[in-house]
Structure 1
């Protein structure tokens, strides 16, 4: 049985996709979809990364529902990111 949900994908392009979810009552992964295994460096014992082991209850089934349009270039490249409360944009006087 599939448990479908709508997700937003960002790679390779923004889109809405329909995806299967892990079984919420799975005793192996508690509904997360897999198990993390942290490991360390052999010489120092410091944290070196995490491996992800997918659970049998989750699948990689996905289907594209709606490709989302890109923002126009003039909306993506704004160079004037002024702080609205900064000294160059508004007064520092309190409103009370």
Structure 2
């Protein structure tokens, strides 16, 4: 098991300690798995890609080290929704 520190945003911002694939794995060459394209059964057209993880690595093995605070959202300035540039409301 080779561990590294990684930043994640899901389900909330945090620093996690996660497992990494073996760099000298003969099956995946250190990538952690293989992409597998597949097609539609009837037409034979491309339908998507699956990820097949390698047994040298467990992508679900991770531990939260430090939860990070969320960034405050920026407020949008008040914008005239009609684009007229003036209002027919009284000033008081």
TM-score by length of 1: 0.71
**2:24 equivalent in structure 1:** 25
**1:69 equivalent in structure 2:** 69
Gaps of 5+ in 1: 81-96
TM-score by length of 2: 0.74
Number of matched pairs: 76
Q: Is 2:36 the partner of 1:37?
A: yes
What is the aligned-residue RMSD (CA, Å)? 1.4
Q: In terms of Rg, which structure is larger?
A: 2
How far 1:79 sits from its partner (Å)? Answer: 3.4
**1:79 equivalent in structure 2:** 76
